[in-house]
Amino acid sequence: MDKKYWVPALERANDILHLLAAEPSRLRLMDLANRLKINKSSMFSLLHTLETLGWVVKEKGGTYALGPTLGALSASYFRQFHILQAFYAEAGASVRRVNETVQLSVLNGRDIMYLAKEECSGPLRVATDPGMKLPAYATAMGKVQLSRLDYAELKALYPEYRLEPRTPHTVRDVDQLWAQLAQIRASGYGSDEQEAMTGFFCVAAPVFNHEEQIIAAVSFTMLENSWMEKADAARDEIIDLGRRLSVRAGHVFSPG
């Protein structure tokens, strides 16, 4: 990154805000100075300015937290945030890196509804289009979004227990689905290998908002030969795309 016109004080203020977002009401002036390797006098000036502007607040015990000005700015941002605009701004780069089609969906009851698609340059044209629905349990994007549910909520969503198979590879019951969702929660991504459509393989990642809710999912879709060649690269890229969209939606990821 070119830092010719960089303002170091703004960078330090940004570091302070991110640290307070991760650890609210826990850090005092010296804690912040030590963690960010900023001398005490400079940290005092930065905190005084941020407090005066309402970006941080100093609490009774001397600890700091994010202030009301940031809340107001965040509210303005979320009023203007649109998931489709964010998707089209970010998805193209992912498609170019992997050369496979990327899709966006939201959970709609027991189904996913496709919202957008960014196609690759190859001859494959994915049959799912915006507005189309598929059962959530049979798709990578659906399972990623179902992973936010606890077992009682999952059983309430599928009271019949048995799940209608779309292909010979589709998960068959709620307990099998629950086991898959546990793996998704642990790994941060989900996949389906010919579960929704014979011959098609998908890998998906969640999109989180500022309240740590899963609001959508993104996925790569490909044929088996591409899956064998690109599965790892597609997984890493779709996780990164999900993170980029989450950041645009206001989600703050924990350090590390």
Q: Is residue 186 part of a domain?
A: yes
Give 105's strand partners. 114, 217
CATH of the domain at 141: 3.30.450.40
Assess whether 131 and 233 both reside in one domain: yes
Q: Is residue 2 part of a domain?
A: no
Q: Which helix (H) or strand (E) holds 219?
A: strand 214-223
Assess whether 203 and 92 both reside in one domain: yes
User: Mind listing the pLDDT tens digit for each residue in 56-89?
Assistant: 999 999 999 999 988 777 766 656 568 888 999 9
Assess whether 231 and 122 both reside in one domain: yes
184: exposed, middle or buried (C-beta count within 10 Å: 0-12, 13-18, 19+)? buried
pLDDT of residue 100: 94
pLDDT of residue 36: 96
d(CA 69, CA 30): 24
Assess whether 64 and 97 both reside in one domain: no
Q: Is residue 140 part of a domain?
A: yes
Q: Of the candidates 78, 105, 129, which is a domain's last residue? A: 78
Report whether pLDDT(97) > 70.
yes
Report whether pLDDT(164) > 70.
yes
Lowest mean per-residue pLDDT among 78-82, 190-194, 200-204:
78-82
Interval 207-236 mean pLDDT: 94
Residue found under tokens 């963690």: 35
pLDDT of residue 106: 92
Q: Is residue 255 part of a domain?
A: no
Assess whether 122 and 21 both reside in one domain: no
Residue 125's domain comprises 81-248
Q: Is residue 256 part of a domain?
A: no
Assess whether 115 and 173 both reside in one domain: yes
Q: Is residue 1 part of a domain?
A: no
User: Mind listing the pLDDT tens digit for each residue in 32-54?
Assistant: 999 999 999 999 999 999 999 99
Q: Of the candidates 78, 102, 132, which is a domain's last residue? A: 78
Q: What is the mean pLDDT of the chain?
A: 91
d(CA 222, CA 140): 12
Which pair of structure tokens corresponds to residue 137?
Answer: 């349990």
Report whether pLDDT(31) > 80.
yes
Q: Of the candidates 49, 78, 107, which is a domain's last residue? A: 78
Assess whether 139 and 17 both reside in one domain: no
Give 220's strand partners. 102, 203
**What value, to the nearest 5°, has the Cα angle with vertex 120 and ends 117 and 123?**
115
How many structural domains does the chain have?
2
pLDDT of residue 220: 96
pLDDT of residue 157: 94
Report whether pLDDT(1) > 60.
no
Assess whether 34 and 157 both reside in one domain: no
For 89, other C-beta atoms within 10 Å of its C-beta total 12
Lowest mean per-residue pLDDT among 62-66, 67-71, 146-150, 240-244:
67-71
Which pair of structure tokens corresponds to residue 96?
Answer: 């170019």
pLDDT of residue 83: 87
The one-letter code for the residue type at 219 is S
The one-letter code for the residue type at 165 is P
d(CA 123, CA 121): 7
Which pair of structure tokens corresponds to residue 161?
Answer: 């227990």
CATH of the domain at 20: 1.10.10.10
Report whether pLDDT(256) > 60.
no
Assess whether 57 and 87 both reside in one domain: no
Contact between residue 124 and residue 101 where contact means Cβ atoms under 8 Å apart? yes
Assess whether 157 and 202 both reside in one domain: yes
Q: Is residue 253 part of a domain?
A: no
Assess whether 220 and 105 both reside in one domain: yes
* 3-class SS of residue 173: strand
pLDDT of residue 151: 96
Phi/psi class of residue 186: alpha, beta or left (left: φ > 0; alpha: ψ in -120 to 50)? alpha
Report whether pLDDT(110) > 90.
yes
d(CA 150, CA 194): 26
SS3 of 156-217: the string is HHCCCCECCCCCCCCCCEHHHHHHHHHHHHHHCCEEEECCCCCCEEEEEEEEECCCCCEEEE
Assess whether 188 and 234 both reside in one domain: yes
